Amino acid sequence: MKIKVFDSELKVMEALWKEGDLTARELCKILKEKTGWNPNTTYTVIKKLVDKGAIERYGKNFSCRALITKEQVQQYEATELVDKLFDGSAEIFLSAFLSGKKPNDDEIARLKQLVENLE
């Protein structure tokens, strides 16, 4: 499932991914502590996520459940970034990314394994 999740929406998703199903009230409490949001802001973001199919609300307490995984969002965002800034080239992206950060030996070994798995 390919769904664009904006930064404000990501805050709600992160809480659901970390904690599992939560009521809207529990989400309000968590996001008040983390971001200072008032309940109306949280309810608005929940509604946007429900409308786009990223979460569902159920039950009398308006419990919320994530319908997309963090990995799905990561994949979508990574693809969007590579397409938008690097003309769709994973090679150009990786070169730019690694020029700013020298990977350690373990990371290099895992990157090599990833490339070998693609072949």
The ranges assigned to domains in the chain are: 7-66
Are 62 and 23 spatial neighbours (Cβ–Cβ below 8 Å)? Answer: yes
pLDDT digits (tens, 9 = 90+) for 14-49: 999 999 999 999 999 999 999 999 999 999 999 999
pLDDT of residue 119: 77
pLDDT of residue 100: 79
Q: What are the structure tokens assigned to 54, written together?
A: 């990223």
DSSP letter for each residue of 48-82: HHHHTTSEEEETTTTEEEESS-HHHHHHHHHHHHH
* Domain 7-66: assigned CATH number: 1.10.10.10
pLDDT digits (tens, 9 = 90+) for 83-101: 999 999 988 998 888 887 8
